[in-house]
Chains A and B, each alone.
Chain A
Amino acid sequence: MNVMVNVRVALRALLANKLRSFLTVLGIVIGVAAVVALLGVGRGATASITDRVASMGSNLISISAQRRFGPGMSSGTSVSLYFSDYESILKNIDGIASVAPVYSSNFTVNTSSRTSNYEVTGVTPNYLDVRSYTIAEGRFVSEEDYLSNKQVVVIGSQISTDLFEGLDPIGRKLKIKSVEFTVIGVFESSGSSSGMSSGDNIIVVPLSTGYSKLFGSNAMSGGKQTLSSIYISAASADTVDQVISDTELLLRSNHALTLNDDLPFSVSSQAQALETLSEVSGTLTAFLGAIAAISLLVGGIGIMNIELVSVTERTREIGLRKAVGATRKAILFQFLVETMTLSILGGVIGVLLGSLIAMVFTWTGMITAKVTADVITLAFFSAVLIGLFFGIYPAFQASKLRPIEALRYE
């Protein structure tokens, strides 16, 4: 009784029952593909969030006004961040490499052929240093542009493609709220397709030009120019915490708040944001893991079902094989080879299908899915082990029967 004969017996049995073999494989394929695709997409989502936050610049501290909702307040009242806050930070806070004030608002942007709505951000020349963007073509807003309210604009690569359809955008005109601007530079594509901080979808103008030509009264509060955010780049990672607490104190004094009042601004570092996000993504991963486990369980039940349904016929077959001289070892080996063939085939197809689904997610640009080796290993081996167990266990039981009992099994 050699191994090759056993393998041939098993493969012949599989081919003789094509539908049953197919259904068993299908059960495994679905289980494995679900886990691979789900975990791949989940990991991809987590990774892209974390990457994006990390790419916003090291030592970055952001200050923004917090909308406050509370008893006795009309909803949505906010305390504004003033341009003067920026000036006082620049003057009073130590341990700072660079400070960049920002005002953002949505405007209609049009070229001769296209009209679209975008967020337009007014910045100072040092915005580039603080936010670690790079310029692919042309130049960034210069000191001169800023001081003399030049009508110039730097755009993201995606916007360049959208508005100018592949033409070189440098020197071309576009209109923001009917005010004409000249494109002087394009940001380097960051590779990610969407998101709050990606350099691909931003439009940047000198802050001074923004105040005078675009933002109008919306950017004014109590006769003072307001800001959406102030970005601070700390001189080093060690000074970040000191800069945050100094800035908070300064803002309290600027806005006449005591230490007992709630600070209406959020002053947070990238490190803190990353910490929060990694907590969130941990929860997300656990949640996806739970869903994946359910998929695997459902797949496993499918496998069990198919295997158990075929038990009656297989029990009689086992009885017959024993009656014509098969040893118990030969029977078990046959079923081992049969189920291993089905499980591994199902596992491989499942991994391929799952990866394909993940790729479709990536291609459509929804999420850059990350199908990693550990995900594949987990899904593949869980399903294969379930398949093996439920394939062999009934055979093991049946092989213990005397041939006459197995033959009578209904």
Chain B
Amino acid sequence: MIEVKDVYKIYKLGDQEVHALDGVSLKIEDGEMVSIMGPSGSGKSTLMAILGCLDIPTSGSYFIDGQEVEKMSEDKLANLRAHKIGFVFQQFNLLPRTSALENVMLPLQYDGLNAKMRLEKAKEALEIVGLAERMYHHPNQLSGGQQQRVAIARALVNEPAILLADEPTGNLDSRTGAEIIAMFQKLHRERHQTVVYVTHDSFTARHTERVIHIADGQIKREEMIAEPLIAGVAHRPEDGNNGSALDKQTGKKKEK
């Protein structure tokens, strides 16, 4: 379970203070699948970085499984990132000139496992994302969707409590994006993986059980989805009216 209480993140730009996060509180239970939705500049990526322990809040507190994150030492934080959190980036962030398998093995290098165990776990993770037959390919020999699947395998390889993804479909076309979301849904369904992802797209957001709407650094609204869309089956509406209630509230235009 993760819990955020009254978190602020303030950047200084010259004399001006920018409140990227302006008093955010939220709670995500184990086994939930949640999306965080908002327009660009709403602070959703900042929130994600804090959830992933990649950044620290200016004030407020953050608990993972009851442990308070800001009170942790650097090494404890690293340990937390290694064991509790799997993070998927918009730009994939794979090491170039390094095979898919070795990219997936990267988190295990800091885990004290022996070589055989590392190899087994990495292969297993690649099988889960369906890339077992391409494990020796380098990132530049893989398509965007395949690269993102390698990144997901890397995030999964340590069997993290929480899988976090920052705009995981942002750099992909809609069909490939749907494959990635389908992957998350499968992990959630079959392995009860806690999944949290950020998107600016309400269609993508509606594939989860809960959508947290964020704008101007504040949570505006939470919406429970009784029947989440099924990735690959649901079709993106073309009239722009799907989920219109949400869009009227956030004032954001729907993307095609």
- Chain A positions within 8 Å of B, measured between CB atoms, are 1-2, 5, 8-9, 12, 16-17, 313, 316-317, 320-330, 402-405, 407
Contact = CB atoms under 8 A, between A and B. Distances in A.
Contacts of A313: 96
B112 A402 contact: no
- A-side interface mostly: helix
Nearest to B99: A16
The 9 A-B pairs with the shortest beta carbon distances in the complex, nearest first, are A325-B82, A324-B107, A404-B54, A327-B78, A403-B54, A404-B55, A404-B49, A325-B81, A325-B110
A2 B54 contact: no
B140 interface: no
Which among B54, B83, B111, B112 has the greatest number of chain A C-beta atoms within 10 A? Answer: B54
Contacts of B109: 5, 8-9, 326
B154 A324 contact: yes
Contact of A326 (B49, B78, B93, B97): B78
B87 A325 contact: no
A70 B81 CA distance: 88
Contacts of B82: 324-326
Which among A17, A313, A324, A404 has the greatest number of chain B C-beta atoms within 10 A? Answer: A324
Interface string B80-107: 0111000101000101111000100011
A16 to B, nearest CB: 5
A5 B49 CA distance: 28
A148 B97 CA distance: 89
- Bin the interface of chain B by size: 20 to 34
Contact of B158 (A9, A16, A325): A325
B55 A325 contact: no
Contact of A324 (B74, B102, B106): B106
A17 B102 CA distance: 14
Contacts of B102: 12
Contacts, number: 73
16 contacts: A2-B112, A9-B109, A12-B98, A16-B98, A17-B97, A322-B54, A323-B54, A323-B81, A324-B81, A324-B82, A324-B154, A325-B79, A325-B158, A327-B75, A328-B75, A402-B54
Contacts of A328: 74-75, 78
B20 to A, nearest CB: 12
Interface of B: 49, 52, 54-56, 74-75, 78-79, 81-83, 87, 89, 93, 95-98, 102, 106-107, 109-112, 154, 158
A16 B56 contact: no
B93 A325 contact: no
Contacts of B56: 402
A269 B131 CA distance: 87
Given A325-B83, A407-B54, A320 B93 contact: yes
Given A323-B52, A327-B74, A1 B112 contact: yes
A159 to B, nearest CB: 64
B110 A324 contact: yes
Contacts of B158: 325
Contacts of A5: 109, 112
Contacts of B98: 12, 16
Contacts of B97: 16-17
B87 to A, nearest CB: 6
B106 to A, nearest CB: 6
Which among A323, A325, A404 has the greatest number of chain B C-beta atoms within 10 A? Answer: A325
Which among A1, A328, A404 has the greatest number of chain B C-beta atoms within 10 A? Answer: A404
A327 B110 contact: yes
Contacts of B54: 322-323, 402-404, 407
Nearest to A334: B109
A317 B103 CA distance: 11
Contacts of A404: 49, 54-55
Contacts of B110: 1, 321, 324-327, 330
A2 B89 CA distance: 28
Nearest to A17: B97
A327 B78 CA distance: 5
Contacts of B75: 327-329
Contacts of A321: 106, 110
A203 to B, nearest CB: 69
B170 to A, nearest CB: 15
Given A17-B97, A330-B110, A403-B54, 6 more contacts: A313-B96, A322-B81, A325-B79, A328-B78, A402-B55, A407-B89
B109 to A, nearest CB: 5
Contacts of A316: 93
Nearest to B52: A323
Nearest to B78: A327
Contacts of B93: 316, 320, 323, 407
B188 to A, nearest CB: 21
Nearest to B49: A404
A389 B55 CA distance: 28
Contacts of B78: 322, 325-328, 330
A12 B93 CA distance: 18
Which among B56, B74, B75 has the greatest number of chain A C-beta atoms within 10 A? Answer: B74
Nearest to A5: B109
B64 to A, nearest CB: 14
A320 B87 CA distance: 10
